[in-house]
């Protein structure tokens, strides 16, 4: 107000009107910002930012999801090429010379541009898939010019096996085994330690032809996403499970995401090796939203296995099943990587997961897909229709229930 009154006085004075000083003073005073102007400007910027940022995030998520879809499509092409050459799909978890734990990923290496990695594995006589150093055909470590060991083929990061949405897949430390964000379907079945059975298309020690798919290749799930466990976070056990005095036990945080975690030791009664008698409801109740809940559950989470070895056919690393819904709870009956496992697809996409069907098509499956409702009293079945709704039927190769029109 003072500045404006001052300029009005000068305007009434003919002498000052003719001076440069008046023009400069009044121009400065009249163009100066008030506090109100400043606040209005800040509010406008805040509103614009609020409108633009969600749009940018949605665009970024759309781009990541598209990249993920393209990765799955490439894997679909690789599976088709393998089938065209061999008239069968690769088995998941087989030998020779490797504890029968080689994954189907190794059979796809040549079809995604990594034939040299496949040759290294074959030349080393199919070493166990957790061997980190490079070895020769006799199992002897291969050394560099400085007489140092060098990483082996299982440490190779294969971009086609990684989803750009999952940050864990891009961590790199020396001699770290290669990650995978995609996994093979065992259908609506909980895979046990050495069991050569599943309701899905990928079975330990079994090579299926597409002619074996009773439900049709467009109705049957081949692969899906699954978040990798970040290797920086050590596995979390309670001291009671490990029977040690707080040695190597990480302080348990308040919340642990179920994205890359697996709740261990779910069987409170004597362990049943009958896969059809696992307590599905107990697993279902361990998670709320994206997090494990309850002190007992949080104290028994493993965060170092999921997606941690693309070459390992053991179910903890490279399989999924269609029992729990997408982004649901992951649980194991015991505390080792051979335990029977519930492992639904998981992703960092907002409302569901991408899956690859056997016909090569990629679909986005909502977290809300029909999974059969309440798990009370439900068990897996070896034959007939899935008790786990449309989701279970998608995983099975012989459910005989049409599902295309009912996927949401």
pTM: 0.80
Predicted confidence (pLDDT) at residue 25 exceeds the cutoff of 50: no
- As a whole number, mean pLDDT of residues 223-244 equals 56
- Quickly state the pLDDT bin for 370 (edges 50, 70, 90): very high
Q: 3-state class of 183 per DSSP?
A: strand
Contact 357, 217 (CB under 8 A): yes
Query: Could you give the C-alpha distances from 292 to 232, 256, 262, in angstroms and in order?
Result: 19, 6, 9
Question: Torsions phi, psi of 320, nearest 5?
Answer: -140, 160
Cα–Cα distance measured from residue 149 to residue 237, given in angstroms and rounded to the nearest whole number: 32
- As a whole number, mean pLDDT of residues 278-304 equals 81
Q: 3-state class of 385 per DSSP?
A: coil
Cα–Cα distance measured from residue 38 to residue 160, given in angstroms and rounded to the nearest whole number: 51
- Quickly state the pLDDT bin for 38 (edges 50, 70, 90): confident
Within 10 Å of residue 131's Cβ, how many Cβ atoms?
Answer: 18
Poorest-pLDDT segment among 182-186, 226-230, 298-302: 298-302
Query: What is the per-residue pLDDT for 64?
Result: 74
Cα–Cα distance measured from residue 231 to residue 93, given in angstroms and rounded to the nearest whole number: 23
Query: What is the per-residue pLDDT for 339?
Result: 82
């Amino acid at each position: 107000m003072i500045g404006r009154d001052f300029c009005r006085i000068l305007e009434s004075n003919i002498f000052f009107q003719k001076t440069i000083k008046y023009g400069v003073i009044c121009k400065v005073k009249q163009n100066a910002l008030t506090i109100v102007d400043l606040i209005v400007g800040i509010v406008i910027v805040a509103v614009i930012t609020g409108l633009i940022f969600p749009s940018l995030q949605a665009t970024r998520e759309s781009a990541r999801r598209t990249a993920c879809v393209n990765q799955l499509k490439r894997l679909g092409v690789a599976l088709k090429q393998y089938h065209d050459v061999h008239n069968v799909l690769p088995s998941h978890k087989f030998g020779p010379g490797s504890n029968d734990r080689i994954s189907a990923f190794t059979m796809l290496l040549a079809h995604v541009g990594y034939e040299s990695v496949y040759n290294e594995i074959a030349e080393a006589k199919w070493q166990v898939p957790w061997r980190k150093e490079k070895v020769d055909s006799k199992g002897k470590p291969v050394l560099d010019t400085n007489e140092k060991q060098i990483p082996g083929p299982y440490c190779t990061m294969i971009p086609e096996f990684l989803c750009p949405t999952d940050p864990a897949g891009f961590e790199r430390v020396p001699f770290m085994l290669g990650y995978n964000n995609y996994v093979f379907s065992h259908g609506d079945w909980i895979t046990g330690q050495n069991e050569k059975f599943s309701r899905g298309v990928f079975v330990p020690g079994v090579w299926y032809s597409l002619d074996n798919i009773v439900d049709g290749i467009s109705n049957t799930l081949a692969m899906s996403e699954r978040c990798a466990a970040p290797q920086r976070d050590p596995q979390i056990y309670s001291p009671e499970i490990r029977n040690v005095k707080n040695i190597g036990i990480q302080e348990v945080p308040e919340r642990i995401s179920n994205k890359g975690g697996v709740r261990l030791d779910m069987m409170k009664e004597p362990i049943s090796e009958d896969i059809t008698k696992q307590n599905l409801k107990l697993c279902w109740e361990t998670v709320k939203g994206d997090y494990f809940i309850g002190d007992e559950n949080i104290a028994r989470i493993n965060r170092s296995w999921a997606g941690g070895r693309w070459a390992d056919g053991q179910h903890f690393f490279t399989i999924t099943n269609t029992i729990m819904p997408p982004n649901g709870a992951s649980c194991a009956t015991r505390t080792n990587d051979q335990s029977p496992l519930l492992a639904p697809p998981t992703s960092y996409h907002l409302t569901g997961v991408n899956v690859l069907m056997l016909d090569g098509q990629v679909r986005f499956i909502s977290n809300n897909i029909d999974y059969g409702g309440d798990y009370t009293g439900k068990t897996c079945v070896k034959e007939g229709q899935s008790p786990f709704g449309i989701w279970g039927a998608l995983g099975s190769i012989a459910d005989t229930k049409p599902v295309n029109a009912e996927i949401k």
